[in-house]
Structure 1
Amino acid sequence: MGKRLKKARLKLGLSENQLSIKCNLSRGAIAGYESDSIHPSKRALIKLTKFIDKDYLCFDEYSRFLLSDYSKRIKEWRISNALTLSAASKVLGVSSSAIGSWEKGVYSVDKENYKKIKGIIKNL
């Protein structure tokens, strides 16, 4: 995603700082996204896609996942399988507090945990 973000920013004729101001993100965050050292959160992706085409920027599976209603799908999966937070945490290999936070939309699912759970929870 980083290369696409940088290419789109340059096409718009913006510096990292100018894009950061437009999106209300730090310049360091923009630099981190462009170098692929960090991945933008759902909130940051939403801000970026106000200026950069969403389909162009979010071509990868994980970015599309972050912009989806994954909180609802994780909860539906847990309930349809009659799992408590504790039982779901054992199935997914993450803490029950993480699942609760994901279901409430408090925290984003990071890329590492997304890779863990995508094979278990179908249609993420």
Structure 2
Amino acid sequence: MSLGSRLKEARLKLGFSQEYVAGRVNLHRTTIGKYENDASMPSLDVLIKLIEIYCEDANYILYGKTRKIINISDVPEYAIEKIYFLIAKSKQCD
């Protein structure tokens, strides 16, 4: 699946029209269509706005990598804090 296909999928999932999205990013509707048909590439600024509007994972939109969502509502707070600590520590090693 291409970048344009993923953008279109994200838009349709929310029930947004191309015209609505174009208004949110100050572009013409046909420009959104060109992005979705891979006839044109959005600028980085526009791409960031689209990802935010669609509430999508940037890795999915950019690379097509599926994201994993884990429900942590039953995980104790102390365990979540330890997880965040380990993540922060691993980023220091990169």
Please confirm whether the aligned pair reaches a TM-score higher than 0.5, indicating the same fold.
yes
Partner of 1:50, secondary structure, is: helix
Paired residues in the alignment total: 60
Which portions of structure 1, spanning 4 or more consecutive aligned residues, are displaced by more than 3 angstroms?
none
**Separation in 2, partners of 1:33, 1:49:** 13
If asked which structure has higher relative contact order (CA below 8 Å, sep 6+), I would say 2
Partner of 1:51, secondary structure, is: helix
Q: Match of 1:55?
A: 59
Alpha-carbon RMSD: 1.4
Unaligned stretches of 5+ residues in structure 2: 65-94
Sequence identity (%): 42
Unaligned stretches of 5+ residues in structure 1: 61-124
TM-score norm. by structure 2 comes to 0.57
TM-score norm. by structure 1 comes to 0.44
**Separation in 2, partners of 1:47, 1:25:** 12
